[in-house]
Amino acid sequence: SQQGEEDPQALSIQEGENATMNCSYKTSINNLQWYRQNSGRGLVHLILIRSNEREKHSGRLRVTLDTSKKSSSLLITASRAADTASYFCATDALYAAGNKLTFGGGTRVLVKP
């Protein structure tokens, strides 16, 4: 089963606008990660936020984490056509042996030129 659930499932915006997507999860986590996937190929790691962090920035990306609400958001500012992709949140829960990522269903973002 998928722990993370992204909202919205799809998003269409104009180039230059901001894109915001949200992720909710169910269990305690070690960290939460966001990935981008173009055209059903490999995932690209965007940003990682640890459970003791509340906000993190990387270039045009801003991620927030609210562990009390078990939710996270990803903001892409000043979007570009190249940002068109599917975005996934993934929670990382550290187990006694090893760890695994649990992904949500993703948000499909279309940035129109």
Partner 1 sequence: DAGVTQSPTHLIKTRGQQVTLRCSPKSGHDTVSWYQQALGQGPQFIFQYYEEEERQRGNFPDRFSGHQFPNYSSELNVNALLLGDSALYLCASSWDSRGGYTFGSGTRLTVV
List residues binding partner 1 (CB under 8 A). Answer: 1-2, 4, 30-31, 33, 35, 40-45, 48, 50, 88, 90, 92, 94-95, 97-106
Going 45 to 105 to 24 to 62, the CA torsion angle's sign is positive
Query: End-to-end alpha-carbon separation of the chain, Å?
Result: 36
Report the SS3 class of residue 69: coil
Complex with partner 1: residue 15 or 108, whichever CB lies closer? 108
**Nearest distance, CB of residue 78 and partner 1, angstroms:** 24
Complex with partner 1: residue 14 or 39, whichever CB lies closer? 39
Complex with partner 1: residue 28 or 30, whichever CB lies closer? 30
> For 59, left (φ over 0), alpha (ψ -120 to 50), or beta?
left
